[in-house]
A and B are shown apart, each in its own frame.
Chain A
Amino acid sequence: MRHTNRPISTAVSAETIERELADGLALPSDAVARYALGLGDDALILAQRLGEWIARAPELEEDVALGNIGLDLLGHARSFLTYAGSAWGRTEDDLAYFRDEAEFRNHQLFERPNGDFAHTIARQLIASVYFDALYARLQASSDPTLAAIAAKAVKEVEYHLDHSVQWVRRLGLGTDVSHERMQAGLDAMWPFVDHLFRPDRGAAELEGVAVPPQSLRDVFDRTVPAVIAEAGLQVPGIPGARGGGRDGVHTEAFGHLLAEMQVLARAHPGATW
C-alpha cells in the first residue's frame, strides 16, 4: 500500500497525514485510534472485495467502475489506518498485512463474498448509503484529521451511491432474471445491515469526535427502502445475523480474503514495488 510518489493533489491522503504527524500533529488517543481502525478496516476490506472483480466484471467498463470505487475506498482506508497506527507506532502496512482475523474490526457486510454482480451491487448500495451518511456527519468531527478524511471521502462516496442506485434500478426493472438476481442479492446482504447501526461503546465514549452508528439508521431507512421500491423490488424481511465484526467476530469467507490480501506481504516482508 505504500508508494514513494507523493500525490500532486493537496487533498488529504495517507501521505499528507504521515507528513503532518511528522511535523508535530498530535497523535490520536487510543480511543480515537481504535475508532479510526474500525472505519479503516471497513473501507479496506470492501476495497479488497471490489478488487476481485477486476478482469471478471460483466463488461470492461464495469471492471473500471468497480475498480475505481475500490481504489477510492482504499484511499480512505490508508488515511484511517495511517492515523490509527500512529497511536501505536504501526504503519498502515503493519495494520493491513500483519494482523490476524480476530484483530480486524470491519463489519461483516464488507467481507461478504462478491457473489454475482447483483450481490455486489446490493452490498455496494447498503455500504454507500452507510458511508455517505457516516462521512457527512464525521466532517463535523472535533478531530481535524477524521474530519478531513471524511470531507474528502464523502464526495467520492456520493458517486459510489449513484452507481449503485443506477444499477439496482436497471437490474430490478430489467429482465425477469435480473430482477430475481437483484432480489436475491438484497436478501443475501440484508442480515448484515443491522450490524452497521448498532450502538458502539467506543464511539459513545468519543462524543463530538465519533459518529454514533445508531444515529445513521434514520438516513438508511429513509433512503434504501425507497430505492428498492422504485426498482420494483421488496425490502427483505430477514432478521439480522448474530455476532459482529466490530468485536473481531467474522464470517467463514473472511479468512480466505485475508489470506489472499496478506500472502505477498507476509512471504516477502518489506517488499516494495
Chain B
Amino acid sequence: MAASDSGATTAGGGAGKTGSTETWPLWEVFIRSSRGLAHVHAGSLHAPDAVMAVRNARDLYTRRGEGVSVWVVPSSAITASDVDARGAFFESAEGKEFRHATYYTDSEGVPHL
C-alpha cells in the first residue's frame, strides 16, 4: 500500500526471489465506481501476483462500496512523464487559448450556440 509514485520509476517487477527483506511487486489499482464511468486510479498496493492483487484491492479500496469493477496493473508497466521536466514538457499548451472553446465568441447569425 505504498504511496503512488508519480515519477517514471518502477517498482517490484524485478524483485529478487531470495532474502527476507523481499517485498511483493507493486500494483496500481483502478476502480470504476459505477456502470458507464471510467476506471479511476485509486492507489497502489503490494501483491505476489495479479490474481491476489485484485483481491487485495477489493480489501483495501472497496471497503465502503466504492466500486463495481477493479483493474490492477503492474506499476512496472507504467511509463510516466518526468516530473522534474514538467515545465518544458507542458510548455507548448501555454498561451494557446484558441484550444479552449471559451476563446471563441458567438458568431452572429448562428442561433442556439
Contact = CB atoms under 8 A, between A and B. Distances in A.
Interface residues of B, number: 15
Given A59-B24, A64-B60, A166 B1 contact: no
Contacts of B79: none
A59 B23 contact: yes
Interface stretch (B6-14, B40-48, B81-89, B98-106): B40-48
A61 B23 contact: no
Contact of B59 (A64, A166, A170): A64
B77 interface: no
Nearest to B47: A61
Interface string B19-52: 0000110000000000000000000011111011
Interface residues of A, number: 10
Nearest to A69: B59
A60 B55 contact: no
A61 B46 contact: yes
Contacts of B47: 61
B13 to A, nearest CB: 17
Interface in A197-234: none
Given A59-B23, A59-B24, A166-B52, A68 B46 contact: no
21 contacts: A59-B23, A59-B24, A60-B1, A61-B24, A61-B45, A61-B46, A61-B47, A61-B56, A61-B59, A61-B60, A64-B56, A64-B59, A65-B55, A65-B59, A68-B59, A163-B55, A166-B51, A166-B52, A166-B55, A170-B48, A170-B52
Interface of A: 59-61, 64-65, 68, 162-163, 166, 170
